[in-house]
Amino acid sequence: MNYEQARFNMIEQQIRPWDVLDAKVLALLSTVKREDFVPAALRALAFVDMEIPLRSHPDQAAPVGQCMLAPRVEARMLQDLALQPHEKVLEVGAGSGYMAALLAHQAQRVISLEIDPEMARLAHANLQKAGVHNAEVRQADGAAGAQVEGPFDAIVLSGSVAEVPQSLLSQLKIGGRLMAVVGDLPVMQAKLITRTGERAYRTQELWDTVVPRLAHVPEHAAFSF
């Protein structure tokens, strides 16, 4: 397989048509080898417009939260976050480490949380092999964030949630941004939430998509009477 041609086709046929036009993002997608973060048996699918399961399961191809997002979704999230070189980033849901690698190339430091111990080890190993040294993977429940390390300039949820946990929003700096896919099937929405004050946030509704749920993040809060 010609990986460079497949990478070029992915960028030109999947990612540009999804309004990802930032030259820095496009160059980064050419540089970071996506195929190195894909399970060996599925490397031929590295550049296909689909989610890639990171482990097999007897009942379903991609268990909740255990997949690589489609390339166009990763690229659009990266573009809309507009990271700066001095920024500190928290990612919830490390998966194979690919998104953490992309984030690390644009930010000063990345902490990526992964609740599954096996996935956390995989992500760490992949980042080391790729020579990414400013991204740290921790085995932890991402819904709780990383309070001690905060506040963060940016937080990325690499999976969907019914609602963004307040525990994560509170770990943003004033002016910090959180990128998440929010909602329920059949249509979810990518949102960029900016912290504008101590208890104030501004939400931008960006684009529609559907991605798998993050594991162990609460669904809609129950009403109490």
Average pLDDT over residues 133-161: 95
Is 19 within a domain? yes
Mean predicted lDDT score pLDDT of the chain? 91
pTM for this predicted structure: 0.91
Is 165 within a domain? yes
Is 215 within a domain? no
Is 220 within a domain? no
User: Range with the lowest mean pLDDT among 43-57, 87-101, 148-162, 193-207?
Assistant: 43-57
DSSP H helices in 46-175: 71-81, 98-106, 117-129, 166-169
pLDDT, residue 220, reads: 63
pLDDT, residue 56, reads: 54
Is 65 within a domain? yes
CATH number of the domain encompassing residue 124: 3.40.50.150
Is 218 within a domain? no
Residue 122, domain extent: 3-209
Neighbours of 113 (CB within 10 A): 23
- Of the candidates 118, 120, 110, 145, the residue with the CA atom closest to the CA atom of residue 217: 145
Is 139 within a domain? yes
pLDDT, residue 59, reads: 45
Is 111 within a domain? yes
How many structural domains compose the chain?
1
User: Range with the lowest mean pLDDT among 46-55, 103-112, 131-140, 146-155?
Assistant: 46-55
